[in-house]
Structure 1
Amino acid sequence: MDSEITYLGKIIRVDSSTVEVEVSDDIPSAAPIINGRLYKIGQIGTFVKMPMGNITTYGIVSSVSNTPGKSDENIIGQIVGSRFLSVQLVGEKIGDDDFEKGIGTYPTINDEVHLVIEKDLFDIYGGKDAGSIEIGKHSSSDNLSVYVDIHKLILRHCAILGSTGSGKSNTTVSILRAILNDYDGSRVILIDPHGEYASAFPSAKVFRINAPSNPLYIPFWLMNFDELAFFLVGAKPTDDQRVEYRLLRELITTFKKENCKLKSGDVTQEFITADSPIPFSARKLWYEMNWWLNASFESTKKDEQKRETKYEINKGDYENLIGAEFTSHLTTANNQPPHVSQHKDFYSYEKKLLARLKDSRFNFMFHPGDYKDASSSKDLHNLLNEWIGSENKLAILDLSGVPFEVLDIAIGLITRFVYDSMYWGKYESYTGKNRPLLLAYEEAHTYLNKNDNNSYSKNAVERIFKEGRKFGVGALVISQRPSEISETILAQVGTLIALRLTNSGDQSIVKSSSPDNLNSLIDLLPSLRIGEAVIVGESIKIPSRIRVKLNNPRPTSEDPKLVECWSKKYEPSEENYKSVVTKIREQKI
């Protein structure tokens, strides 16, 4: 076989994961032409094969040198002029069986090593089947499509990582388009913090704050009590020993129990807790706090101060945030000492809640349209159907209008609600395990930061990564800073799609998180071209360097056309920037 044109040389060293190859001096050219195609010997990241009877072992070239990796200094002079390849072993093919990752039979000293040509690559990657999607073309062959196992890609979770401008958004569009085009029953929710992806998916259902059609509503009452307490009044679970915290829980539970007759079905009162996702009025909650703070009573004893013994002269209007009015605390009709309220527990909470309710940026949560209360025309089953049950297989939740300080809770709330629907509906024919779902998180490092210990979104997404597979929920994280993402999330990623990464810290995180021990491919990250990626993990037969096609229409994440813009002459005007300032003040795009 050493007479074949694909012959490279022989193995001179073997260890548990790599072999060293001495390239034969008899090879006529460093760039042989085989079947009309030029192949370069010793290219980093290219494949070689080691045939041993009916077993063929495959490896990836990780380094090239004119000296062996481990050698005696006394014999170096005898091997000057030789070429040596260090090869990482990746898998094997037995007879006509499919290629499999992992090594069962290791090559030995003096076994032959050959170039892998295009025909061999087709044998490794195979064709498209019912359980795969095309992710791109192999970097060494424009004719070779690379496919990934869709089941493992989604349910074992995946990540798209790359520096700014490396092609992350385009890669995301390619993967989602392949899923949506190939599978009629697919379901995807894309969390889009910057509103970039609507242009790339004209047929998607896009939910956006204040949009005339498909406005995004996230009812505040979907939150559990810990989330509600933090969002409404800034309280944390560590405040559970404070009187006002316990009273707040009791009030919320009471209001929820009053609304047990719901469009999705009546709920038994004794099963309702402060965590139950049941509508109630945050304005009524404020009104109740305000009432007890300002009320006048016949008695000065706190335990005798009841609604029946109040001095109320105006009931107020909780919908318009007008509190009740009482007789003066300074005097009474008989000039007796004032009958003041002893209920000051809600003093700080009432002020914070009122400020939150008056902030128009939170209207998408406090005024959720048809999801306002128990008497509204829609309930949570309608919201779920719009997000994951409509004929549009992709729902884009455009969070560009969500205030930054509530972005964490909004994403955590969306994630937990969708996860709960999959968990409790796991045996239904139309959802759960019988119709899996992909949740994609763009700009993941901004809200899934490993250093944020009080992140509601991180806790919810970590739960998806740890348990979602069992209930049909897969996750995709997209980020330019993998070093900032939760380690728990990265540890559960089954497939890594890494584009160009120039930061050494990000590279080391990808290297340590890679499901396959192929440092030679990960070391290529700084030198990858735009739109080129290294993909490793469970969903692909063999770790590969691929090129992702350029998609049109594209997300609105491309760079501005600087030269074209700066070549124009702009006329100054005092009217300029008025609309910009208004948008800043109203927080509207």
Structure 2
Amino acid sequence: MANETLNFKDNARLGRVVTVDTSRVLISVEEHQQMTSIAVGNLIAIQGRTASEYLIGIIERVTRSISEKLLLEEISNEGEIPLGESQDDFIKAVLIGTYKAVDGSLSNTFKRGADCFPQIDRDCFHISGSNLQLFMNLLSANVKENERLTLGHFMADETAVAIANGDKFFQRHAAILGSTGSGKSWSVALILERAAALKAANLIVFDMHGEYSTLCEGKNAIAQQYRIAGPGDLDGSDERSLFIPYWLLNREEMLALILDRSDDNAPNQAARFTEHVRALKEQTLNKEERNDVLETFTVDSPIPYSIELLLDRLDKDNSEMVPKEGGSGTKQGPWYSKLSRFMGRMKAKIDDRRCGFMFQPPVECNSYEWLENMLSKLFSASESEKGIKIIDFSEVPSDVLPIVTGVLARLLYNIQFWMDKDSRHPLTIICDEAHLYLPVRDSAEAAEKRALEAFERIAKEGRKYGVSLLVVSQRPSDVSRTILSQCNNFLVLRLTNDQDQSVVKRLLPESMVGITDILPLLDLGEALLLGDSILLPTRIKLAKPHIAPESATRQFWSDWANREPQPNAVSNAVEALRRQVRS
């Protein structure tokens, strides 16, 4: 097969080129019987400049028009000219690449883009049968063995394996988009399985619903599991519990949580907060004798400090009385009673056990060495340690979710940024349910904007420092335009919402837009694979992962027919709700 080339016989000929523009061609189908064997999405080959060169296109429209014509050759004796039917068949196709049977010293090459425009009257052929099999296999053969990411098989030819270029898929960010129930979670699980087979994969999954926990269980586990500590984990006894202590938040992130920008005293509150936090971090550095850090640290540097001491300092400002001029008596200080509401909001966050992972961490989380130890776990990637880390965010309150994801993403990026370039090990962050914390900027609240800043920086600059994003969402219309526009690869499953389809179409070149018309018709597990990682934008059937995530849709009708509710289910759930601990 490797030495075979596309070989078209007369019965594969469709017709000839009649119209050409920059990216599309119109073919007049002269072999009318061929109209029953072609369909939208099929591939065609147009004869190029030489006998060994073909321009490859995807059919996006098939039309047949019937019109009346004068049959001049059948004029009757009375001089009447009868009418007959005229059948005109046309194919409209978008040009996607160039195939060469011989290309210098190479043979059987395909590259994206047309080397030249097709000429009028050039023959056009339907790529089918053995030619289709050869061509689809050629797409996979173009990917080097060590770069192969096997995803399933091509719908155009089920014998041909759909292989993407793994380097290109992750280098410039990617997105998996699809309506609920279309197979997004299975797609993520499949990609994680493929990555787990590598020597030192390094991926972190932001798991919003805890559905990827199955990948961390049993002897065939492929990932390590962590979870953001819930109210029942605050003693720190569970090694899987992950804390994000308040001192990891930078100034803007902390203020987004506790500062009311509409408060007349907001500028004063922000100023005192900033001054005291910097002073407390300086105290820590002096205590740790970190003189080198003392010279260059900023208020945003991740240095532990005591939030109780911060409150004490703010309370002192808020109630301070200062001597009057002339020394007779006292008067209210410059911050008197201006920090009360700010302190109240801070105390409310500190006392909220749902936010205990941030404001009530174990004592060891406030040590200077803790951050290094925590990040070393998240960056672990070796044959002895599973390099895929799944972080369960399911117990994080929705109002602080954007801040928490943003802080983690910012930390991961900053570590790569400040790491010696020869020591960097590539890292991909998988953003599950991205619409929950990466909204369109125009509709984002203060906390969400802080998260967007972190992720948008990764989207724009992460490639330089070995950090990429894999964005997963059922509502692409609700996801940051900046982040999606930086994605160069898309695995798009069924999308039924017009707004979501429009977002995908806007992200693609104009010549590719027609391919997306099939999105609402895709079956479960079918997807369009588009982007740098594959030469041909194509429809594929995704392989099933060996370990399925816990994302299967409940079978309502079947469960109603065959199961009864468990007797203690409600009482157990009520107590879990009260304890704020999920089983």
Matched, 1:421 2:415: yes
Q: Provide the rounded CA distance (Å) in 1 between the counterparts of 2:388 and 2:326.
A: 56
| Equivalent in the alignment of 1:213 | 239
The residue correspondences of 1:51-90 to structure 2 (distance < 5 A) are: 51-52=47-48, 53=50, 54-67=52-65, 80-90=86-96
Q: Provide the rounded CA distance (Å) in 1 between the counterparts of 2:88 and 2:8.
A: 17
Q: Which amino acid aligns with 1:439?
A: I
| Equivalent in the alignment of 1:164 | 180
SS of alignment partner, residue 206 of structure 1: strand
Q: Provide the rounded CA distance (Å) in 2 between the counterparts of 1:304 and 1:385.
A: 57
Contact 1:160 1:497 in 2 (8 A): yes
CA gap of 1:168–1:516, structure 2 versus 1, over 3 A, is farther
SS of alignment partner, residue 268 of structure 1: helix
Q: Provide the rounded CA distance (Å) in 2 between the counterparts of 1:229 and 1:462.
A: 20
Q: 1:399 aligns with which of 383, 389, 393?
A: 393
Q: Provide the rounded CA distance (Å) in 2 between the counterparts of 1:264 and 1:478.
A: 44
Q: Provide the rounded CA distance (Å) in 1 between the counterparts of 2:190 and 2:507.
A: 23
CA gap of 1:8–1:404, structure 2 versus 1, over 3 A, is same
Shift of 1:285: 1.3
Shift of 1:568: 4.5
1:146-187 per-position Cα deviation (integer Å, ceiling 9, x unaligned): 221222211211111111111111111112222221x31221
TM-score, normalised relative to structure 2? 0.84
SS of alignment partner, residue 518 of structure 1: helix
Contact 1:193 1:400 in 2 (8 A): yes
TM-score, normalised relative to structure 1? 0.83
Q: Which amino acid aligns with 1:244?
A: Q
Matched, 1:520 2:514: yes
Matched, 1:107 2:118: yes
| Equivalent in the alignment of 1:385 | 376
Q: 1:409 aligns with which of 403, 406, 418?
A: 403
Shift of 1:381: 1.4
Q: 2:45 aligns with which of 49, 54, 59?
A: 49
1:408-450 per-position Cα deviation (integer Å, ceiling 9, x unaligned): 1001101111111111115142x2xxx2111110101111111
SS of alignment partner, residue 501 of structure 1: coil
CA gap of 1:341–1:493, structure 2 versus 1, over 3 A, is closer
Q: Which amino acid aligns with 2:581?
A: K
Contact 2:173 2:486 in 1 (8 A): yes
Contact 1:58 1:91 in 2 (8 A): yes
CA gap of 1:87–1:523, structure 2 versus 1, over 3 A, is same
Contact 1:160 1:477 in 2 (8 A): yes
CA gap of 1:20–1:371, structure 2 versus 1, over 3 A, is farther
Q: Which moved more, 1:279-288 or 1:530-539?
A: 279-288
Question: How many residues get paired?
Answer: 534
Contact 1:204 1:395 in 2 (8 A): yes
Q: 1:222 aligns with which of 243, 248, 251?
A: 248
Q: Between the two proteins, what is the percent identity of the paired residues?
A: 28
Shift of 1:284: 2.0
Matched, 1:193 2:186: no
| Equivalent in the alignment of 2:356 | 363
SS of alignment partner, residue 259 of structure 1: helix
Shift of 1:564: 3.7
Q: Provide the rounded CA distance (Å) in 2 between the counterparts of 1:437 and 1:407.
A: 22
Q: Which amino acid aligns with 1:213?
A: E
| Equivalent in the alignment of 2:273 | 248
CA gap of 1:80–1:265, structure 2 versus 1, over 3 A, is farther
Matched, 1:153 2:146: no
Shift of 1:239: 7.9
Q: 2:223 aligns with which of 198, 204, 212?
A: 204
CA gap of 1:371–1:73, structure 2 versus 1, over 3 A, is farther
| Equivalent in the alignment of 2:312 | 287
Contact 2:324 2:331 in 1 (8 A): no
Q: Provide the rounded CA distance (Å) in 2 between the counterparts of 1:245 and 1:205.
A: 39
CA gap of 1:257–1:302, structure 2 versus 1, over 3 A, is farther
Q: Provide the rounded CA distance (Å) in 2 between the counterparts of 1:2 and 1:106.
A: 20
Shift of 1:292: 4.6
Q: Provide the rounded CA distance (Å) in 1 between the counterparts of 2:264 and 2:292.
A: 29
CA gap of 1:569–1:55, structure 2 versus 1, over 3 A, is closer
Specify every segment of 5 or more residues in structure 2 that has no aligned partner in the other structure, as ranges.
1-6, 72-82
Specify every segment of 5 or more residues in structure 1 that has no aligned partner in the other structure, as ranges.
32-40, 306-336
Q: Provide the rounded CA distance (Å) in 2 between the counterparts of 1:199 and 1:264.
A: 45
The residue correspondences of 1:109-124 to structure 2 (distance < 5 A) are: 109-116=120-127, 117-124=132-139
Q: Provide the rounded CA distance (Å) in 2 between the counterparts of 1:145 and 1:304.
A: 88
Q: What is the aligned-residue RMSD (CA, Å)?
A: 3.1
| Equivalent in the alignment of 2:497 | 503
Contact 2:189 2:547 in 1 (8 A): no
Q: Which amino acid aligns with 1:286?
A: L
Matched, 1:474 2:491: no
Matched, 1:347 2:362: no
| Equivalent in the alignment of 1:321 | none
The residue correspondences of 1:527-546 to structure 2 (distance < 5 A) are: 527-546=521-540
Shift of 1:362: 1.2
| Equivalent in the alignment of 1:313 | none
Q: Provide the rounded CA distance (Å) in 1 between the counterparts of 2:40 and 2:308.
A: 65
1:350-382 per-position Cα deviation (integer Å, ceiling 9, x unaligned): 22221111111111112333652236xx42211
Shift of 1:521: 1.4
Q: Provide the rounded CA distance (Å) in 2 between the counterparts of 1:239 and 1:437.
A: 43
Q: Which amino acid aligns with 1:288?
A: R
1:543-571 per-position Cα deviation (integer Å, ceiling 9, x unaligned): 11101012232111111132342124647
Q: Provide the rounded CA distance (Å) in 2 between the counterparts of 1:484 and 1:191.
A: 18
Contact 1:264 1:380 in 2 (8 A): no
Q: Which moved more, 1:164-173 or 1:193-202?
A: 193-202
Q: Provide the rounded CA distance (Å) in 2 between the counterparts of 1:149 and 1:302.
A: 75
| Equivalent in the alignment of 1:179 | 195
CA gap of 1:193–1:100, structure 2 versus 1, over 3 A, is same
Q: Which amino acid aligns with 2:305?
A: F
| Equivalent in the alignment of 1:6 | 12
Q: Which has the higher helix share?
A: 2
| Equivalent in the alignment of 1:324 | none
Q: Provide the rounded CA distance (Å) in 1 between the counterparts of 2:123 and 2:513.
A: 24
Contact 2:224 2:388 in 1 (8 A): yes
Q: Which amino acid aligns with 2:170?
A: I
Shift of 1:528: 0.8
Q: Provide the rounded CA distance (Å) in 2 between the counterparts of 1:561 and 1:255.
A: 55
Matched, 1:443 2:441: no
| Equivalent in the alignment of 1:257 | 282
Shift of 1:133: 1.1
Q: Which amino acid aligns with 2:254?
A: L
Q: Which moved more, 1:123-132 or 1:7-16?
A: 123-132
Q: Provide the rounded CA distance (Å) in 2 between the counterparts of 1:67 and 1:251.
A: 78
